[in-house]
Chain A
Amino acid sequence: MGKSNNANRDSRTRDSETDSSGTNTLILNHFSAAVVFAFFASIVFGITHRDNTRDMVRYGLYCFVMFLGGVFVAGWAMWLLRR
């Protein structure tokens, strides 16, 4: 049990791993991958979907909040379904 917990903690906290060919691989957990995704996608959405700077910033923030809100809603929905 303890060993398993340690293994889980290690897999959550490490940020890179080297495979047999020596290639370094970036390891992101699901949440941090979702945050990075939301951040960059929101920037592009903000710039391309609005006409002036103020609206771009507002829409970009709106998209970011919606992306993250969606992550939390989906997370809680899956938690409820699992019970």
Chain B
Amino acid sequence: MANSTAEKAKIDAAPVSMMSVLAPALGWLIPGAGHMIQKRWIRGALLFISIVTMFLLGLAMQGRIYKANGGDILDILGFVGDVGSGGLYLLTLANDWGQGAIAFATADYGTKFMIVAGLLNFISVADAYHIAIGKKQ
């Protein structure tokens, strides 16, 4: 108990290092890159494959990408989820992909796939940060 408290205090007091900033930022931009830069190659590769595949499947299903908006709360939350995909989101916006197709019922699945890919990348970014500060191996 005392040990874990001391360990927690040590982590809380850890100074901001270059890696603790770089790993999450890079991990957001390219899914899994935050792990790879810390030499967690397999974990990084699996995260990259999982998140990128989910996002691309969403696009292939004609899912809709949310843009920055101040309207409906669900649209705002959709935007927050999509932004998590980082580089994939920016690439999609730049190429004007992800317009959504009402004609296909699966387009709705696609929209959700892309949002979840972004949310999973947020978890991955937090994990990369925890590795960088030594909270996780």
A interface residue numbers (CB < 8 A to B): 17, 19, 23-28, 30, 33, 36-37, 40-41, 43-45, 47-48, 51-52
**Residues of chain A contacted by B116 (CB below 8 angstroms):** 37, 41
**Residues of chain B contacted by A47 (CB below 8 angstroms):** 43, 46-47, 124, 127
Instruction: Beyond A27-B61, A47-B43, list 4 extra A-B contacts (CB 8 Å).
Output: A17-B104, A26-B57, A28-B106, A47-B127
Is B120 in contact with A27, judged by CB distance below 8 angstroms?
no
Is A27 in contact with B106, judged by CB distance below 8 angstroms?
yes
Is A44 in contact with B106, judged by CB distance below 8 angstroms?
no
Q: Interface residue tally of chain B, by bracket?
A: 20 to 34
Is A48 in contact with B61, judged by CB distance below 8 angstroms?
no
**Residues of chain A contacted by B101 (CB below 8 angstroms):** 19, 23, 25
Q: 7 closest pairs, A vs B, by CB?
A: A26-B60, A48-B127, A40-B50, A44-B120, A43-B50, A33-B109, A40-B54
**Residues of chain A contacted by B113 (CB below 8 angstroms):** 33, 37
Tell me the chain B residues, 89-137 only, with Cβ under 8 Å from chain A: 101, 103-104, 106-107, 109-110, 113, 116, 120, 123-124, 126-127, 136-137
Distance of B95 from chain A, by nearest CB (Å): 13
Is B54 in contact with A37, judged by CB distance below 8 angstroms?
yes
> What separation, in Å, do the CA atoms of A61 and B113 have in the docked complex?
20
Q: Give the nearest-CB partner of A36 in chain B.
A: B57
Is the C-beta of B85 less than 8 angstroms from some C-beta in chain A? no
**Residues of chain A contacted by B127 (CB below 8 angstroms):** 47-48
Tell me the chain B residues, 1-47 only, with Cβ under 8 Å from chain A: 43, 46-47
